[in-house]
Amino acid sequence: MLLYNAGIHPLSIEVAAILLGVPTATVSVIMSSEMEGDVKFASTAVTLSTLLSLLSLCLWSYLIGFLY
């Protein structure tokens, strides 16, 4: 409600909220490999964030619909 009362367009708020729920970029695994980092950790983080994004996207969509 704070952003809406500040005059920000509701569609912009919805887009920002949905972007908060998307998974980690898969390029982080490639970057980790190229920079001799922890590839297993990076791939686990990408996999976990992708699976959890199913829940977070549903939650954000529900909250947006509930608030606006």
Domain positions in the chain? 2-67
pLDDT at 64 (0 to 100): 77
Q: Distance of alpha carbon 44 from its chain centroid, rounded?
A: 16
Under the banding of pLDDT at 50, 70 and 90, the label for residue 1 is: low
Question: What counts of helices (H) and strands (E) characterise the chain?
Answer: 4, 0
24 to 8, 9, 30, 33: CA distances (angstroms): 26, 26, 13, 16
Section 27-56 average pLDDT? 92
User: Which amino acid is present at 17?
Assistant: A
pTM tops 0.95, yes or no: no
Q: Is 23 helix (H, G, I), strand (E, B) or coil?
A: coil
Using a pLDDT cut of 70, give the percent of the chain over it: 96
